[in-house]
């Protein structure tokens, strides 16, 4: 298949802007442009692959537009016949539009990525990965921190890649890097939340959950892994088809299906979680009945909520009474709820976004990406800066969801003596109270 100047039609802009800045090109690039021209012609003479011919035609368009600008720059610099200036200026104007069109065509994102917006989230996730990495290093139970560290690291890499892509929007490696990392990251967040909820169930008691704590974590983690595999398969299909200029719609719908599966699974998770909250708040003690007001008081640990918890606590697993007395523990239900809902909203957004296609409204308007994806994931991670299990359960407490028991650190002799004295004091108080109660209930003698 031969290819030459006679096979390349002239390019004209489809729309004319009211104004633009005409490009200027350093004339010293002429030699390099000529060498590129020779290479294009040499390769095109024998090339039969349609994809390569498309790329060569784009290179030729750019080369022709650049040479037009350089030649007309020379003419304007030396010409004295001003009557030709309007025609020459129009040619330079069209060549500038041609170069701009080529830049837009090569932009995989179909929009100009925001450096400040993506840089802000890159910095925020960098601080989070440092925080969770440090906690994982010093913690005796690092699973939760490792999951959050992985999620924060992937988010950091993804938004850093988007910052770099602003300066090279045609680079496929950066596009694939950001799409893969930002797709995978929430899976690690939910894996951490599932395990945290399993510990939370253990602290209150197995009887308040439909499933055993560990089984609860495994069931929903399995769903996330399946969703991730489907999304990854769809993403790989899209990447291959993009490089070969083939339709990407089947791969896109695979990704939509994977996210839809994740949304369904997360809907079930939130349903089970709300059911669990209902049971520990309004099924543990028959004297405490459901009301939205009481739910608010318990979730946000108001003064009234603290009084209600005093009546509820004896109904829970006594082995973990020490953990439930920690200051931050009673805020854990709302922290888990808000972080889970944040990821849930992000998944719904991603599903709608991809269903519109890669050139859809949502994906080409970056403000939605930054608010409904980046911000939601950041909030889900940031909530566990203050409400990290190290602070809610105790820094040296490891709650086992396998044995549904607790591993606490060995006490020093002084701590052991103090705890024994405290226990003996409590036993004496209980004995005195029981003795007084028996005296009050005995028949009076006159």
Output the DSSP codes for 205-257: -GGGSSS-HHHHHHHHHHHHHHHHHHHHHHHHHHHHHHHTT---HHHHHHHHH
pLDDT of amino acid 39: 83
In terms of domains, do 210 and 95 share one? no
pLDDT of amino acid 435: 63
The DSSP symbol for 139 reads: -
Separation in Å, CA 241 to CA 237, 238, 247, 326: 6, 5, 6, 54
In terms of domains, do 133 and 89 share one? no
Q: Does some domain include residue 420? A: no
Q: Helix (H, G, I), strand (E, B), or coil: what is residue 406?
A: strand
In terms of domains, do 265 and 330 share one? yes
Q: Does some domain include residue 243? A: yes
In terms of domains, do 203 and 101 share one? no
Which of 440-443's residues contact partners 24+ apart within 8 Å by CB, and which partners? Answer: none
In terms of domains, do 186 and 211 share one? yes
Separation in Å, CA 240 to CA 62, 269, 288: 26, 34, 59
pLDDT of amino acid 217: 84
Query: Tens of pLDDT along the chain (446 residues)?
Result: 444 444 444 555 556 565 566 667 777 777 887 788 888 888 888 877 776 777 777 778 777 878 887 877 777 777 776 777 777 777 777 777 777 777 777 778 878 899 999 999 999 999 999 999 999 998 877 889 999 999 999 999 999 999 999 998 888 889 888 988 998 899 999 999 999 999 999 999 989 988 888 888 889 889 888 988 998 888 888 878 777 767 788 888 998 999 999 999 999 999 999 999 999 999 999 999 999 999 999 999 999 999 999 999 999 999 989 889 998 999 999 999 999 999 999 999 999 998 888 888 998 889 999 999 999 999 999 999 999 998 988 877 777 776 555 544 433 444 434 444 444 555 566 566 666 655 554 444 43
In terms of domains, do 126 and 198 share one? yes
Q: Does some domain include residue 289? A: no
Q: Does some domain include residue 184? A: yes
Q: Does some domain include residue 425? A: no
pTM of the full structure:
0.76
C-alpha angle with apex 177: 173 to 182, nearest 5 degrees? 155
In terms of domains, do 179 and 94 share one? no
Q: Are the C-beta atoms of residues 162 and 125 closer than 8 Å to each other?
A: no
Residue 326: which of 313, 311, 339, 340 has the closest Cα? 313
Q: Mark which of 63, 83, 106 sits at the end of a domain.
A: 106
pLDDT of amino acid 422: 46
Q: Does some domain include residue 415? A: no
Q: What gap in Å lies between CA 79 and CA 237, rounded to an integer?
A: 55
In terms of domains, do 129 and 60 share one? no
What CATH number corresponds to the domain at position 245? 1.20.1070
Q: Mark which of 106, 141, 174 sits at the end of a domain.
A: 106
In terms of domains, do 13 and 161 share one? no
In terms of domains, do 127 and 98 share one? no
| Number of structural domains found in the chain | 2
Residue 262: which of 235, 237, 225 has the closest Cα? 225
In terms of domains, do 214 and 241 share one? yes
pLDDT of amino acid 415: 41
pLDDT of amino acid 138: 87
Q: Mark which of 106, 132, 152 sits at the end of a domain.
A: 106
Q: Does some domain include residue 444? A: no
286 CB contacts (<8 Å, ≥6 apart)? none
In terms of domains, do 131 and 100 share one? no
C-alpha angle with apex 198: 396 to 371, nearest 5 degrees? 95
pLDDT of amino acid 8: 46
Domain interval for residue 81? 5-106
Q: Are the C-beta atoms of residues 193 and 170 closer than 8 Å to each other?
A: no
Residue 192: which of 142, 227, 133, 245 has the closest Cα? 142
Q: Does some domain include residue 193? A: yes
């Amino acid at each position: 298949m031969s290819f030459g100047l006679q096979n390349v039609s002239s390019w004209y802009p489809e729309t004319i802007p009211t104004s633009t800045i005409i490009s200027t090109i350093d004339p010293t690039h002429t030699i390099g442009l000529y060498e590129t021209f020779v290479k294009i012609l040499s390769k095109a003479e024998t090339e039969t692959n349609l994809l390569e011919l498309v790329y060569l035609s784009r290179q030729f368009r750019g080369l022709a537009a650049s040479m037009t600008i350089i030649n007309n720059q020379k003419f304007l610099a030396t010409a004295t016949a001003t009557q030709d200036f309007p025609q020459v200026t129009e040619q330079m104007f069209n060549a500038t539009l041609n170069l701009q069109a080529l830049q837009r065509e090569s932009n995989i994102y179909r929009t100009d990525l925001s450096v400040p917006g993506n840089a802000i989230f890159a910095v925020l996730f960098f601080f989070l990965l440092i925080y969770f990495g440090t906690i994982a290093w010093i913690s005796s139970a690092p699973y939760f921190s490792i999951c959050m560290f992985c999620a924060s690291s992937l988010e950091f890499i993804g938004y850093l890649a988007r910052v770099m892509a602003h300066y090279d929007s045609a680079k496929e490696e950066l596009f694939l890097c950001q799409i893969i990392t930002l797709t995978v990251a929430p899976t690690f967040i939910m894996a951490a939340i599932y395990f945290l909820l399993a510990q939370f169930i253990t602290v209150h008691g197995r009887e308040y959950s439909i499933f055993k704590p560990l089984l609860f974590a495994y069931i929903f983690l399995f769903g996330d892994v399946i969703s991730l595999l489907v999304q990854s398969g769809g993403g790989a299909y899209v990447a291959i088809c993009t490089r070969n200029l083939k339709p990407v719609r089947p791969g896109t719908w695979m990704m939509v299906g994977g996210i839809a599966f994740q949304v369904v699974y997360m809907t079930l998770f939130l349903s089970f979680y709300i059911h669990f909250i209902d049971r520990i708040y309004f099924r543990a003690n028959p004297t405490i009945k459901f009301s939205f007001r009481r739910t608010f008081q318990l979730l946000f640990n108001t003064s009234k909520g603290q009084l209600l918890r005093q009546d509820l606590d004896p109904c829970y697993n006594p082995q973990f009474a020490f953990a439930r007395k920690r200051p931050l523990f009673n805020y854990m239900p709302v922290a888990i709820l808000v972080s889970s809902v944040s990821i849930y909203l992000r998944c719904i957004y991603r599903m709608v976004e991809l269903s519109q296609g890669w050139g859809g409204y949502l994906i080409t308007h970056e403000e939605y990406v930054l608010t409904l994806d980046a911000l939601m994931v950041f909030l889900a991670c940031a909530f566990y800066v203050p409400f990290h299990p190290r602070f809610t359960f105790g820094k040296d407490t490891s709650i086992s969801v396998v044995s549904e028991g607790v591993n606490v650190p060995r006490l020093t002799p002084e701590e052991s003596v103090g705890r024994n004295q405290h226990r003996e004091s409590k036993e004496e108080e209980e004995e005195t109270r029981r003795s007084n109660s028996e005296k009050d209930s005995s028949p009076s003698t006159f």
